[in-house]
Amino acid sequence: MNDLILKYPKNGKFGEFGGKYIPETLVPAIEELEENYLKFKND
């Protein structure tokens, strides 16, 4: 299992498109969600 985890980038984003397969209209909401998650995840 650890070998599998080490193969992937720590930020969870892959390649040119960042690994996000969502409609363009949702991008701002997802970016806001990601920003707030990173901000508050350790609270």
pLDDT given at position 21 = 72
**Domain range list for the chain:** 2-40
pLDDT tens column, 28-37: 999 999 999 9
* Distances, alpha carbon 21 to alpha carbons 3, 18, 39, 41, in Å: 25, 9, 23, 23
State pTM to two decimals: 0.52
pLDDT given at position 10 = 63
Asked whether 30 and 20 are in contact (CB, 8 A), the reply is yes
pLDDT tens column, 1-43: 456 555 666 666 666 666 667 888 998 999 999 999 999 999 8
